[in-house]
Structure 1
């Protein structure tokens, strides 16, 4: 165990030594008779065995009390000196940015609900990485910019999951009678994502992926860029960028895409998405072949983790428990002795 502030400990020892010297000098100093009446028979009383016994107990208790007082002062200064233990540890930092890009059309709701639930556990294990969320239908919306505020990210994942759940649980006939919550949830995932829906259609997959790719910062060259992309790849309109063009944008921006498709995907849509994802160096997962959503997220976590900074650091751990407990015990002992001596 080491001491962080030695000067404080030295000051405490000096004060404790001064207290001992002061008490010793005062104890040895004899008081001279300064006048007044003397008690008759005092010499005879000092010869009594009971008196001598009580006198010895009193001096012993007083000495123990003074020692406890000095040790309490030393313990207090030891706490202020901050004792600690030091050990060398390997400091690992994962320099990675992750964007969840999800197709919020109703045909992908089941996939998204399960994926969102598993991703919360992944967010809990992040160390220095940043996480963002893009949702899209006709138009993409950056719902959560890249951030390392993991509690906020989990709140957003929960909110999106609640929006999808309410959409499937409430019938349109009684939607408005269910109150403000249903209206709020639907507006939250629909506002901005259906812009131009009448003219352009919906489920514009390429636009969603392209938007996620350009939401990464160009300034962070060292950071690994990952997109978790969930969709059924069932395009119902005219996109600005096709899925293949969006994959090219990802490649040019060094973005790796891990795609998760629904079990209802047609063979053509499955093959198209698989080719686009693998072009970026990522991997394609199909909902019905994965075994569980936990396996999908676990696989993405292992494949995309990039350990870029490893160094040995000295970690200091405060060791304040023992000095604090010692001080409490001594203080309690001092109070007990004082009560016994009736000081």
Structure 2
């Protein structure tokens, strides 16, 4: 890391003032001769002119000059701190790293794809640095599996556990072979997501619930653009929700929350009116829409979306200029410590 000076002129000014004071003191000291106003001035040289006294006086003067030199060096070194020695931090600094909420539909029609979404995100977070991630499951109602956190061990563990459970119910054949323990684990996982009868995949309500996990949303306080995002993985909407997808996206858009949609439903439903509306609404609000039937795997689509988000975030990285007074402080302290030792020796 290259050392730079944040306030170089302040340091030079302080150093100049220090040197001027030292020069003035030396000048005034040099003016004191053996005579003042024509009158004789007697000093130690004349009154204590013995061999033993002369040796002690010589030693005193050497220590005194050495102490003065150390004090001046300590002062000059301390004055360099006024210029604020700094270095550029080699680590990436991100202002307000992204908050990411994975909003996952766990209705019956989504079970064939949910485990892929969770498995992919489990791998993606291994490359996160400072991002916070949360997971919400929804059907007719929502359930928070874990809130926003940068504890990646916790998040990875929860994603892995949920992915393994959902993998075991991803096909009808696997469902038919479920053990009682696995069936109970699945029930526990989706508990709280089906509290409204005859209604499934209420996308608008699910999206608002996910957005409410992001700071400031419920207070109407917008976040910085690009700093909060939701990955909405769903298929279709059935039944009347409290919020339409359009109204939910209006709310997230006002809060500067980007929403990307991942359609994971059956291929036969891809051209349904609600699916087309989902795509149109998400793209109209600046989000990206992807379909599991576009020829790409769920894994590839999610990695592509995350890559685009990361590239956008890359532009928001800053180089951090940090103060680096360490060596100068140490040197000044060393000079000062030596001066104290020499001054103590002079006093002795």
Q: Scaled by the length of structure 1, what TM-score is found?
A: 0.59
When residues 302 and 173 of structure 1 are mapped into structure 2, their CA distance, relative to the original with a 3 A threshold, is: closer
**Deviation, structure 1 residue 313:** 6.1
**Deviation, structure 1 residue 110:** 2.1
**What is the Cα-based RMSD across aligned positions, in Å?**
2.7
| Alignment correspondent of 1:129 | 131
Q: Scaled by the length of structure 2, what TM-score is found?
A: 0.59
Q: What is the rounded CA distance, in whole Å, between the counterparts of 1:173 and 1:282 in structure 2?
A: 38
| Alignment correspondent of 2:210 | 212
| Alignment correspondent of 2:229 | 226
Deviation per CA, 1:21-79: give whole Å up to 9, x if none: xxxxxxxxxxxxxxxxxxxxxxxxxxxxxxxxxxxxxxxxxxxxxxxxxxxxxxxxxxx
| Alignment correspondent of 2:106 | 104
Q: Is the 2:112–2:170 contact (alpha carbons within 8 Å) kept by the matching residues of 1?
A: no
Secondary structure of the equivalent of 2:241?
coil
Name which of 266, 271, 275 aligns with 2:270: 266
Q: Is the 2:111–2:169 contact (alpha carbons within 8 Å) kept by the matching residues of 1?
A: no
| Alignment correspondent of 2:184 | 183
| Alignment correspondent of 2:200 | 202
Name which of 153, 163, 166 aligns with 2:165: 163
Unaligned runs of 5+ in 1: 1-85, 317-343
Aligned length: 226
| Alignment correspondent of 1:39 | none
Secondary structure of the equivalent of 1:157?
helix
Q: Is the 1:91–1:313 contact (alpha carbons within 8 Å) kept by the matching residues of 2?
A: no
Secondary structure of the equivalent of 2:293?
helix
When residues 126 and 290 of structure 1 are mapped into structure 2, their CA distance, relative to the original with a 3 A threshold, is: farther
Unaligned runs of 5+ in 2: 1-86, 325-348
Q: Is the 1:140–1:193 contact (alpha carbons within 8 Å) kept by the matching residues of 2?
A: yes
| Bigger strand share | 1
Q: Is the 1:102–1:231 contact (alpha carbons within 8 Å) kept by the matching residues of 2?
A: yes
Secondary structure of the equivalent of 2:90?
strand
Q: Is the 2:103–2:135 contact (alpha carbons within 8 Å) kept by the matching residues of 1?
A: yes
| Alignment correspondent of 2:17 | none
Corresponding position: 1:92 with 2:93: yes
